[in-house]
Amino acid sequence: MPRSLGTRSRCSVESVVLAAVVILVPFPSLAFAQADTVSVQVYEGWRQYSVHCARCHAQDVLDSGVAPWLVMSVKPDGPVPTPEEFMRVIREGKKSGGMPAFAPDYLEDERVEAIWAYVKGRSDGVIHPGRPVRQPD
């Protein structure tokens, strides 16, 4: 004769199911998140952003509440709407806002261009939060 779950076990299972529903119903993307496949350049931009930018600007280019939200900054009406302006801010920094300057011998132009491609993709909504998947070479 199979053993039945006791009241305590049944409550634990019900609690887990309830917790999953409470978490996943308001955030369905958590249940079905699928990584975006991106170019080699954009993938490198994600890697470089994660190393050099995320500590102040938040992982996945989300709003950190500390530094400017780059998703909004790189929009056409934002303060950094072009790759050239983005490069200038990276190179010169923003002393009034606490943004350090990154010299080309530390963060090469190619890496800054890759960061731009990643941030712009997040801003345009074509890259979702989370680690992207790199396209094969």
59-114 pLDDT, tens digit per residue, is: 999 999 999 999 999 999 999 999 999 999 999 999 888 899 999 999 999 999 99
C-alpha span between 126 and 134 (Å, rounded): 14
C-alpha span between 94 and 90 (Å, rounded): 9
> Taking 50 as the threshold, does the pLDDT of residue 21 lie above it?
no
> Taking 60 as the threshold, does the pLDDT of residue 13 lie above it?
no
pTM of whole model > 0.85?
A: no
> Taking 90 as the threshold, does the pLDDT of residue 7 lie above it?
no
Residue 92 tokens, joined: 């010169």
